[in-house]
C-alpha cells in the first residue's frame, strides 16, 4: 500500500509563506518514490505579506489557505480537517511562513506560540507513533510542540541552536543534503535552504528525507 503524506503549507513565497522550491520538491519526492499526498493549510491571515521583488511589506494582507492553494493547484484542505488516522506521515516544508504563520517564532522567539490546528496535527501524529517530518526552518515547530526529540536545522547560528535546545529538543548539526533521523520518536528533518545554495541540493536533501521515511515506514 502506498504511504500517505499530509503536506502542510504556510502560504506562497519564501519571505512570508512556504518556500516554493521546498514545497514542490516535497510533492515531487513523495510521488517519485511511490507515495501519495494531500496538501493542507490553516485558514488564517498571514502575519504579513511581503513584496518579493522589493522586500517591502504590502498594505493588503493575504490568507494562508488561499495562498497555499496556488502551490497546490487548488487541491487543498483546511488544516482543521486533518485526520491523523488516515495519514502515515505529516510533513512541513520550510519558508518564513513556518515561523510567521504556523507559529510566531519570528516575532516572539523562544516564547512563541504555535497555531492550534498545527499543534493538534503534530500531537495527534506523535501520539499515534506516526512519522513527522520537517524541512529547513520548520523543525522549530516540532521542537516547540514536542519534548525530548532530535532535529536539525543544518549548522545554523548559535542562537537558533540555543532556542531549539531550550524548547527541550536536541539540535544535531548536519550537512546540506543529510537527514537527521530520531528513530525512537519517528522524527525526520533535513536542512534544505538553511544551507543549500541551489534547487538541486534542495531536491536531493528532500528526496533523501522521503526515501529514509519510506525505509522506516515499509
Give the pLDDT of residue 156. 85
Angle at 195 between CA 190 and CA 199, to 5 degrees: 85
CATH class of 4-217: alpha beta
pLDDT at 217 over 70: yes
Give the pLDDT of residue 107. 95
Contact 199, 22 (CB under 8 A): no
Of 139, 123, 118, 125, nearest in space to 205 by CA: 139
The structural domains of the chain, with segments of one domain joined by +, span 4-217
What is the arithmetic mean of pLDDT over 155-173? Answer: 94
What is the arithmetic mean of pLDDT over 181-188? Answer: 98
pLDDT at 134 over 70: yes
Contact 18, 12 (CB under 8 A): yes
Pairing of strands 4-8, 89-92: parallel
Q: What is the mean pLDDT of the chain?
A: 96
Q: What is the pLDDT of residues 42-93, one digit of tens each?
A: 999 998 999 999 999 998 899 999 999 999 999 999 999 999 999 999 999 9
Which residue is catalytic, options 12, 103, 136, 180?
A: 136
What is the arithmetic mean of pLDDT over 106-132? Answer: 97
pLDDT at 215 over 70: yes
From CA 142, how far away is CA 169, in angstroms rounded?
9
Give the pLDDT of residue 188. 98
Give the pLDDT of residue 218. 67
- Residue appearing with cell numbers 533521523: 181
State residue 184 phi and psi, 5-degree precision.
-65, -40
What is the arithmetic mean of pLDDT over 21-30? Answer: 98
Give the pLDDT of residue 47. 85
Q: Based on the residue annotation, tell me whether 136 is a catalytic residue of this protein.
A: yes
Amino acid at each position: 500500500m502506498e504511504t500517505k503524506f499530509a503536506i502542510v503549507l504556510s502560504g506562497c513565497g519564501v519571505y512570508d509563506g512556504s518556500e516554493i522550491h521546498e514545497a514542490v520538491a516535497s510533492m515531487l519526492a513523495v510521488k517519485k518514490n511511490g507515495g501519495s499526498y494531500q496538501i493542507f493549510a490553516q485558514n488564517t491571515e498571514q502575519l504579513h505579506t511581503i513584496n518579493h521583488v522589493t522586500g517591502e511589506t504590502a498594505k493588503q494582507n493575504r490568507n494562508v489557505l488561499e495562498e497555499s492553494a496556488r502551490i497546490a493547484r487548488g487541491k487543498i484542505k483546511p488544516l482543521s480537517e486533518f485526520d491523523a488516522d488516515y495519514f502515515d506521515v505529516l510533513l512541513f516544508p520550510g519558508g518564513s511562513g513556518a515561523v510567521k504563520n504556523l507559529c510566531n517564532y519570528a516575532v516572539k522567539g523562544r516564547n512563541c506560540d504555535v497555531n492550534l490546528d498545527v499543534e493538534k496535527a503534530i500531537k495527534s501524529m506523535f501520539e499515534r507513533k506516526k512519522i513527522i517530518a520537517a524541512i529547513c526552518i520548520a523543525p522549530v515547530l516540532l521542537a516547540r510542540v514536542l519534548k525530548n526529540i532530535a532535529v536539525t536545522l543544518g549548522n545554523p547560528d548559535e542562537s537558533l541552536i540555543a532556542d531549539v535546545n531550550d524548547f527541550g529538543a536536541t539540535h544535531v548539526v548536519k550537512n546540506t543534503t543529510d537527514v537527521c533521523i530520531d528513530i525512537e520518536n519517528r522524527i525526520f528533518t533535513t536542512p534544505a535552504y538553511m544551507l543549500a545554495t541551489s534547487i538541486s541540493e534542495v531536491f536531493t536533501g528532500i528526496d533523501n528525507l522521503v526515501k529514509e521515511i519510506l525505509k522506516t515506514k515499509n
